[in-house]
Structure 1
């Protein structure tokens, strides 16, 4: 399995390490030689213990196109679609795009959708890896078994202060040094923490609540220097079943809170990321009985490894890419919510606009 990863930043390192855990051959490409050096000398050895000398680091002019089974694009969102269009020309079996899919109102997204749907060789998946971990799989199983009865509502929060992100990117001095400080580039709370929207969408379907149809949003926009971003993004969502739910994403909360709760007619299920010193917690209770708590030991790199295992299952035809929790369609649906919110900020219950 030959893998090309475009982008040597924090995500590129995670993807490379997870791919090497799979035993895959990895080439990392970046236009900036300093980023490649930083990956080899700083990020990778500090994060994972030692540099992996089997990983090839190159600039784009030194890599042969069309020779890879999978291409993963871990660049900032606002440059991703142009690279994705070029990647489709190489016809890999899998094209993995990081989240969010792109920036809001990207004209190249429409071109990509048309090009992708015309071809047959490549399957596209998104980097919403939280949906693939064992804790969320446990939540999904409980919902499918109707352990808590009929689901009444669903809440998801991804609330994390900037400092966690910038600790992982120490070469950046603040939001305006990167796309993170610009909602128009796919940054801000709504883009960067869109894992929450994606989890809401996935678990709503698993619970039989249908797909989202209407949206009420509140976006707290900050203008600091050149930066313009939403520090808090709150969404109330109406589903095709008529049920309501809520998603909150922010870049101000400290300590971090990544949490979800599903309330049913006879109980609840709750997930808390890093709720235990060794990993995540899933809690549930039914019929007023005692609360059961299960601990899932893991660290952040394990999420990316689970993603690679899942991609291998797609390649082995154990799972259809279109049925995957990280399907292209799931990432596109998140973009539809983001575009609806930014087209109509702080308005109530508008139809979610299709792309």
Structure 2
């Protein structure tokens, strides 16, 4: 199968806090990355929503989106995603309507149904979290209503959102949201940078069940992957040790700041062979530009994705930016 023409490429950022960095430095680095991404030809830069995790700075997602949008000019800035069960649809519509008015035609609203945190924190955010998660489709309908001009006659309005152009994307890490995105005729983004098991089923369901809508005539897929690209395979492997430690922290419940890279050891190689970790990092492309280019080409051919959204868990901002620069070169060459 041939690579489709012009697969777009984007960035998903968690505003990861590296060891020895303040939150202010972390946010400044997120902006610096976005500014560079703009010059590299990236389509969008999305920030995730996570809570109660010392190594992730993107908790107040809409605030960070505003900060990054203010410091950039053409790049689309959005949420990957807002975890809707954590929030009232009215407040989300007001926040993103405001952002859409401030930065016209540049704001994306990606919505997910997972909590982006542990059970206790989810309940601290919203006591009826479980109920809200089950009514995700209804909550999504409410957001669409608040953005519609027709809602101007309603009793309850998000006046700052009415008629504002903020496209909605459905995010998924299992097959549930694929059915919903297809039924609603909305673009679909799959979190295969960590949830690798259901990627193929989710894409197949979404494409088979897709119903055209006012916003989208045919299916549109965004697929996540991890990328760590450096001048040599050895250097990229070295940089990847920060990611390996981070993954181990997730499995052991000892979440820590992103650690500086160290030499790749046999111990790290053994960790990568652990079946759970191996599965989780299945769509992680690590190496020199030439090495990763071949892997990315195969990945695009298989997924037929309209867009790749890349995550990169590198300790240092300069290495992170360079990795994204090399990824953009790969995408330009493949396109």
TM-score, normalised to structure 2, is 0.30
TM-score (norm: length of structure 1): 0.29
| Structure with larger RCO (C-alpha < 8 A, sep 6+) | 2
